[in-house]
């Protein structure tokens, strides 16, 4: 079955450590996105990529980094520079040209 | 920049009743898409319904329908015959037709369907 896989579902890290969240899709989608979700707020865009080897910052990119070496994969690294990294992270993808977002199941990151 | 507002942080409805969730948006563009996404306790984001701004006819998907008022920049979601499985966060989202085609999400409405 086609879909978007995020792993792991839960992730725990100590403050000061970098951590990488995985996102893989087999839908042949062109564009991939990372969103952060905090309680009481909607989804905020961290980074997005419309083609391989190219990506753009979203609204809250500080403290995060991404890569898009393959069409299927869009890993997100949460660096130690991110001041408040504990959150729920959602990866999404879609075809370009007026198609909706499809989401993974999310990763809950807790940093202590 | 576009903004999306959902003025009802929480709502509740009795099972089998009808409920309407509100969404307003602000844009200077003429061509765009609007979406409603559902996020149940599992936290999986699920597309409920979408509306193209150039279409005057309101979109419907089974028990879900929208009231799209382009001039008023309003996009409400009506859920008929509410079911316990409709309990979720509901997010309204805007997508520009042209520029970047990035999505802007509202803050969400938490809907509880009561037995």
A8/chain B closest Cα distance in angstroms: 14
Confidence of residue A2 (pLDDT cuts 50, 70, 90): confident
Whether pLDDT at B88 is above 90: yes
Would you state the pLDDT for residue A6?
Answer: 96
Would you state the pLDDT for residue A1?
Answer: 65
* CB count in 10 Å sphere of residue B105: 22
- The answer to whether residues A91 and A74 touch, using CB atoms and an 8 Å cutoff, is yes
Within 8 A by CB and 6+ apart from B90, the residues are: B6, B21, B36, B37, B38, B39, B48, B77, B108, B109, B110, B111
Distance (Å) of CA A96 to CA A15, A29, A71, A99, B95? 37, 8, 13, 6, 12
Would you state the pLDDT for residue A42?
Answer: 84
A9-13, B14-18, B41-45: which is most confident: B14-18
Residue A96 is given by DSSP the state T
Model pLDDT for residues A61-105, shown as the tens digit of each residue? 999 999 999 999 999 999 988 889 999 999 999 998 778 999 999
pLDDT (average), residues A15-32: 94
Q: Which residues of B touch A45 (CB under 8 A)?
A: 102-103
Residue A33 bridge partners (DSSP)? A48, A92
A interface test, pick of B31, B39, B100, B102 with most A CB neighbours within 10 Å: B102
B2: phi then psi, degrees, rounded to nearest 5: -80, 150
Model pLDDT for residues B20-49, shown as the tens digit of each residue? 999 999 998 888 999 999 999 999 999 999
Element (H, E) at B37: strand B32-39
pLDDT higher at B73 or B103: B73
């Amino acid at each position: 079955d086609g879909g978007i896989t995020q792993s792991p579902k839960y992730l725990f890290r100590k403050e000061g450590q970098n951590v990488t969240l995985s996102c893989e899709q087999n839908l042949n989608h062109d564009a991939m996105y990372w969103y952060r979700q905090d309680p009481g707020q909607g989804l905020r865009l961290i980074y997005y990529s419309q083609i391989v080897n190219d990506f753009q910052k979203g609204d809250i990119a500080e403290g995060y980094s991404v890569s898009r070496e393959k069409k299927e994969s869009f890993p997100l690294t949460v660096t130690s520079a991110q001041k408040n990294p504990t959150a729920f992270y959602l990866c999404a993808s879609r075809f370009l040209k007026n198609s909706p977002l499809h989401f993974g199941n999310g990763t809950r990151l807790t940093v202590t | 920049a576009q903004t999306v507002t959902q003025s009802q942080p929480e709502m509740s409805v009795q099972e089998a009743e009808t409920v309407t969730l509100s969404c307003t948006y602000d844009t200077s563009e003429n061509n765009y898409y609007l979406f409603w996404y559902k996020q149940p306790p599992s936290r999986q984001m699920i597309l409920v319904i979408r509306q193209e701004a150039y279409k005057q006819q309101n979109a419907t998907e089974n028990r879900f329908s929208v009231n799209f008022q382009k001039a008023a920049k309003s996009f409400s979601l009506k859920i008929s015959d509410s079911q316990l499985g409709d309990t979720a966060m509901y997010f309204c989202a805007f997508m520009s037709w042209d520029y970047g085609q990035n999505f802007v999400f509202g803050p969400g409405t938490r809907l509880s369907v009561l037995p």
